[in-house]
Amino acid sequence: MILTLAIRNLLHDRVRLAVTLIGILFSIVLVAVQLGLYLGASRMITSNIDHADADLFLTTFGAKSFEDGGLLLTDRERHQALATPGVQSVVPLLVSFAEWRKPAGGSTRVVVIGSDFEDKGLIPWALVEGSLEDIKSPDAIAVDKSYLEELGISGIGDSAQAAMGRVKVRALTQGVRSFTQSPYAYTTLNRARQLFGADADRSTFFLIKLAPGADLKAVQADLSNRLESAEALTKQEFRDRSLVQWLFRTGAGIALIGGALLGSLVGTVIVAQTLYSSTKDHIHEFATLRALGSSASYIHKVILAQAGVSAVFGYLLGMSIALIIVYVSQGSALPLVMTPSLAFWLFALTVAMCAISALSAIFKVTKIDPATVFSR
């Protein structure tokens, strides 16, 4: 009975119902896009950290992110780390921005990542053309297919100038994107050092693997005591630091979260207004119910049921459009991400938004005098 009455009230004014659904749809799509961008950006920022085979990252003091380490570590720090109880291996990694000069003229920036693949420190993933053996060949690099046009090349076999040397594309990845919009260029450690004219012992990071059974926090504290010019960070600590640098110090993350809050607010206002107007239109029906003995809680349940039905249909419509946008964005420079947990929280947000909106209507009917039914 409650659900039937709620649906009848909603269908009584279909224009108002459409406005309500559009308000919820707008809110869901806006929040989904903003938070999807936030998750997509977070995934890009931490992708190399997540794929690195390391328990700890050894970096110079003050390194703000994966792309901001410099070329300051030497074999001295590596040997000190290897001498630390509980450390099984220390693998060097070079990461630095470089100028990429296009074959036909013009230039852009790339992030060169040099690693010895035999050490399994950081291996290029999502290879769709070429292989790790191809990247080991002289002057070879791997880049992502989505950046070919930006780099001024067409594919495997093309050459360009990167930093201080010539490079040739020998492998391609798919979906390995950079938040800085400077494409990642993977090569061997020695070749990366040659491109930057760096000494043979220079590195940006050392990827530390612990021996089986070693205590992570104990080894980290021991490394901190031994090393004067470097610090050891866990993967999670380095992820958090990189996210803070690119999402919050730049203001990008704050803008995305602000957009999501704005979408929630706008949706709540629209739904609240339409539910309140609908309640006003049916005020005499509610007064009749009160006169016939219906309790106030019964009428409150009818209004909440209206809000619930609106929430479900608005969510389904909004999520359908949001998923289409997510799918279309996969080929863009900043693809959106939709996860099951995000979908759940969007539904919870929709229900909460409609429940809050129902409060104004409930407040209106609370003051109904059953005698008004006889004044018509």
CB 155 within 8 Å of CB 148: yes
Domain for residue 65, yes or no?
A: no
Q: By C-alpha distance, which of 15, 11, 28, 10 is closest to 267?
A: 28
Residues 201 and 318 reside in one and the same domain: no
Domain for residue 236, yes or no?
A: no
Residues 138 and 85 reside in one and the same domain: yes
Residues 180 and 222 reside in one and the same domain: yes
Give 248's DSSP letter. I
Q: Which two tokens stand for residue 333?
A: 């420079």
Domain for residue 168, yes or no?
A: yes
Domain for residue 49, yes or no?
A: no
Residues 213 and 107 reside in one and the same domain: yes
Domain for residue 180, yes or no?
A: yes
The angle formed by the CA atoms of residues 204, 197 and 45, to the nearest 5 degrees, is 35
pLDDT at 295: 64
pLDDT at 181: 81
Domain for residue 53, yes or no?
A: no
Beta-carbon contacts of 21 under 8 Å, excluding residues fewer than 6 positions away, are 310, 313, 314, 317
Q: Which two tokens stand for residue 305?
A: 């049921």
φ, ψ (nearest 5 deg) of residue 301: -65, -35
Residues 84 and 199 reside in one and the same domain: yes
Residues 105 and 10 reside in one and the same domain: no
Domain for residue 54, yes or no?
A: no
pLDDT at 2: 66
Residues 274 and 330 reside in one and the same domain: yes
Residues 38 and 83 reside in one and the same domain: no
CB 256 within 8 Å of CB 37: yes
Domain that holds residue 265: 2-44+251-375
Residues 92 and 221 reside in one and the same domain: yes
CB 20 within 8 Å of CB 268: no
| Last-in-domain residue among 228, 262, 294 | 228
Give the other-Cβ count within 10 Å of 342's Cβ.
17
Q: Domains in the chain: how many in total?
A: 2
| Last-in-domain residue among 164, 194, 228 | 228
pLDDT at 65: 85
* Rounded (10°) angle between helices 235-243 and 14-51: 130
Residue owning tokens 């019964």: 298
Q: Return d(Cα 167, Cα 187) in angstroms, integer.
A: 9
Residues 214 and 84 reside in one and the same domain: yes
- Tens place of pLDDT per residue across the chain (376 aa): 666 766 666 566 677 777 777 877 888 888 888 888 888 888 888 889 998 888 899 988 878 888 877 777 888 888 888 888 998 889 999 999 989 998 888 889 999 999 888 877 888 888 899 888 888 888 889 999 888 888 888 888 888 888 888 989 999 998 888 887 889 999 999 898 988 888 888 888 999 999 888 889 998 898 888 888 888 899 999 998 888 887 777 776 777 777 777 777 776 777 666 666 666 665 566 666 656 656 666 767 777 787 788 788 888 988 899 899 988 888 777 788 888 988 898 888 888 877 777 776 666 666 555 555 445 5
Domain for residue 97, yes or no?
A: yes
Residues 224 and 255 reside in one and the same domain: no
| Last-in-domain residue among 228, 262, 280 | 228
pLDDT at 186: 93
* Pairing outcome for strands 127-129 and 230-234: unpaired
Residues 206 and 84 reside in one and the same domain: yes
